[in-house]
Amino acid sequence: MKTNFKIVLEYDGSGYHGWQIQKNHTTIQSELEKSLSTILNQKIKLSASGRTDAGVHAFGQVANFTARTDLSCKTIKKGANSILNASIVIKKCNIIHENFHSRYDAVSKEYHYHILNRKTPCAIQRKYMWHIRKPLNLQAMQECCEIIKGRHDFKSFEGSGSPRSTSVREIFSAEIVKNNNTFGLESSDVITFKISANGFLKFMVRNIIGTIVLAGLLKINIEKFEEIIEARDRSLAGPTAPPHGLFLMHVTYP
């Protein structure tokens, strides 16, 4: 009889072509499946809470897999981590009920997007923040956050090829915060966009923050931001923010 295992993952997405397995490309899923298949001596297929894009990071990605094994969760976790590249770590591993599915059972997901807002770039943390030199108006950005809360059609922020039946999503929370000592930098230099929803479309978070940044630069006003949402037209929204500032923080289950 197969056992269903749930794992929580942390990874640095730099250098990977996203979560999902792709031919001739190294991905988070392919690396994990290789390590788990080696430890468990059988072919392992992972299901994840969602697909992170190329270059996107995670502190709390969730996945599950089934296997026939007598190995303990501790042994599986330790063994897989000993094989994996240091940029991918299994933080937790536990047995879950047989019907659990990391994607379909998820209630909400929270993402954080980090922006370094100062004239001078940084060297060490450059892979984890979007550097914007011009000062951002945080009040305008927060007003945009208030507008996107609730249930809306987010087609204006949807990337092409998004696998979905509807572009309607419900955002539970969204805010712009000045971080305290994020990545060891001065709190006044780092801005974080935090968003939680019942699900996200392809590139949705990056397209939203790319448009909110336009408001922060005072290139669009709040009325224009509302028009962009209502138009359901991707061509009217802002640019897609670069992937390296985005982190999947955690996934919530019932």
pLDDT in tens, 60-90: 999 999 999 999 999 999 999 999 999 999 9
Residue 28: which of 2, 3, 49, 5 has the closest Cα? 49
State the DSSP code for 38. H
Count of the separate structural domains present in the chain: 2
Q: Is residue 102 part of a domain?
A: no
Q: Is residue 18 part of a domain?
A: yes
Task: Check pLDDT > 70 for residue 234.
Answer: yes
Task: Check pLDDT > 70 for residue 181.
Answer: no
Average pLDDT over residues 218-234: 96
Residue 213, domain CATH: 3.30.70.660
Question: How far is 80 from 41, CA to CA, in rounded Å?
Answer: 12
Cα radius of gyration (the chain): 19
53 catalytically annotated: yes
One-character DSSP codes across 1-17: --EEEEEEEEE--TTS-
Q: Report residue 5 as tokens.
A: 């295992």
CB contact set of 61 (below 8 Å; sequence gap of 6+): 8, 9, 10, 11, 19, 28, 48, 49, 52, 248, 251
Residue 70 backbone phi and psi in degrees, to 5 = -105, 0
Average pLDDT over residues 138-161: 94
Answer yes or no: do 88 and 115 share one domain: no
Pairing of strands 108-117, 246-252: antiparallel
Answer yes or no: do 119 and 172 share one domain: yes
Answer yes or no: do 141 and 216 share one domain: yes
The pLDDT-based confidence of 178 (bands split at 50, 70, 90) is confident
Strands, E assignment, 21-180: 47-48, 57-67, 88-96, 108-117, 130-132, 150-153, 168-178
Task: Check pLDDT > 80 for residue 184.
Answer: no
Q: Is 224 left (phi over 0), alpha (psi -120 to 50) or beta?
A: alpha
Q: Which of 96, 117, 137 is the last residue of a domain?
A: 96
Q: Is residue 204 part of a domain?
A: yes
Answer yes or no: do 75 and 150 share one domain: no
Domain range spanning residue 134?
108-252
Q: Is residue 205 part of a domain?
A: yes
Catalytic residue from among 12, 53, 105, 189: 53
pTM tops 0.85:
yes
The pLDDT-based confidence of 160 (bands split at 50, 70, 90) is confident
The pLDDT-based confidence of 180 (bands split at 50, 70, 90) is low
Answer yes or no: do 216 and 131 share one domain: yes
Looking at residue 3, its pLDDT comes to 97
Residue 59, domain CATH: 3.30.70.580
Task: Check pLDDT > 70 for residue 170.
Answer: yes
Q: Which of 42, 72, 96 is the last residue of a domain?
A: 96
Answer yes or no: do 22 and 87 share one domain: yes
Rounded to the nearest integer, the mean pLDDT of the chain is 94
